[in-house]
Amino acid sequence: MSVIEITEGTPIVIEVITTASPLTVDVTEAGGLPGAAGPPGPAGPQGPAGPAEVQSFLRAFGPDASSAIPANTWTAIVLDPAGEPWRQFGTACWEWIGPGDPDYTLSPAGIRCLKEGIYDLTGSVVFNPATGTGTRGVRVIEVKGPYAGQWQLAQAIPMPKNSVAPVMVGGETYQYVGNIIELQAWSDTATSTMNNPQSEWLSACLIGVIAP
C-alpha cells in the first residue's frame, strides 16, 4: 500500500509499505553490474596424432598330409605356405621361417612377428577319429621372445565321439617384432591329424597398436 500526501509549499513525501521480498542486486567489483560475455579465446594447441590404423589378418595352414602326434608329447604343426597357401588380408604382420633363415633351426614350424601390437590368436587341429580314445590338446606358444616358454594358450578335451574331431584354442597376447609362435598338438594316445590341408590352422588378427 502507498500513501502520498501533497501540501502546498512543502516537499512531497512518499512512504511505501509492501510485503514483497526486498530487491536483491548482484553487484561486482566497484559496485557495478556484470557486463556482457567477451569473445571466445583462441583454440589450444593441437595434440599429437595417434598411431595410424593398421588392419591385418592371417590364416596359416598346416601341411597337406597328416602329421603324426606321438603320445604325451607336444608336437609343432608345420605352417608352411608351400603346402596350403596362407590367407593374408591387409598389412602382412607375420612371416614364414624358411630353410636358411637364422631362426629355422629353432622353429622350422612357427611364424615370426613383423609388427608389434596386440593380437587375437586362434588355433585349430582336427585329430584322426580312427583313434577314438584318450584326451587331445592344442596350444599356441611363444618359442622366441621376451616371454618365450612363459605363457601359452592351451585347450584340452576328451576325444570327441564323432567323425570329425577338432580342438580349438584362442586368446589375446602382446607380441614384439621378431617373436616366434607355434601351433602345437598333444595326445595321451599316439595318433595323427587329418590329411585335409585345412585341418590344422593358426589365425593371427592385429587388434591394437600402442602409441609410442
**Does the pLDDT at position 20 exceed 60?**
no
Q: Is the predicted pLDDT of residue 48 greater than 80, yes or no?
A: no
Tell me how crowded residue 141 is: count the other CB atoms within 10 A of its CB. 20
Which pLDDT tens digit goes with each residue over 162-174?
667 789 999 999 9
**Separation between Cα atoms, residue 34 and residue 23, nearest integer Å:** 17
pLDDT of residue 100 exceeding 50, the answer is: yes
What class is the 56-208 domain? mainly beta
* Position 9 pLDDT exceeds 60: no
Element (H, E) at 142: strand 135-144
Tell me how far apart the alpha carbons of residues 198 and 60 are, in angstroms, rounded to a whole number: 9
Do residues 108 and 80 make contact, with C-beta atoms less than 8 angstroms apart?
A: no
Q: Largest Cα–Cα distance of the chain, in whole Å?
A: 129
Is the pLDDT higher at 142 or at 209?
142
Find the range with the poorest average confidence among 73-82, 121-130, 203-212: 203-212
Q: CA-to-CA distance for 67 and 78, rounded, in angstroms?
A: 9
Confidence of residue 16 (pLDDT cuts 50, 70, 90): very low
134 φ/ψ angles, rounded to the nearest 5 degrees: 90, -165
| Rounded Cα distance, 137 and 70, in Å | 12
Q: How confident is the model at residue 59 (pLDDT cuts 50, 70, 90)?
A: very high
Cα distance between residue 46 and residue 49, in whole Å: 9
Query: Residue 35: its pLDDT value, please?
Result: 67
Q: What is the pLDDT of residue 118?
A: 96
Chain centroid offset of residue 92 CA: 17
Q: What average pLDDT does range 179-202 have in this prediction?
A: 93
Beta-bridge partners for 208: 118
What pLDDT does residue 31 have? 55
Please state the domain extents for the chain: 2-27, 56-208
The pLDDT assigned to 14 comes to 47
pTM of the predicted protein model: 0.74
Please check whether residue 179 is in contact with residue 112, taking contact to mean a CB–CB distance below 8 angstroms: yes
Cα–Cα distance measured from residue 180 to residue 94, given in angstroms and rounded to the nearest whole number: 9
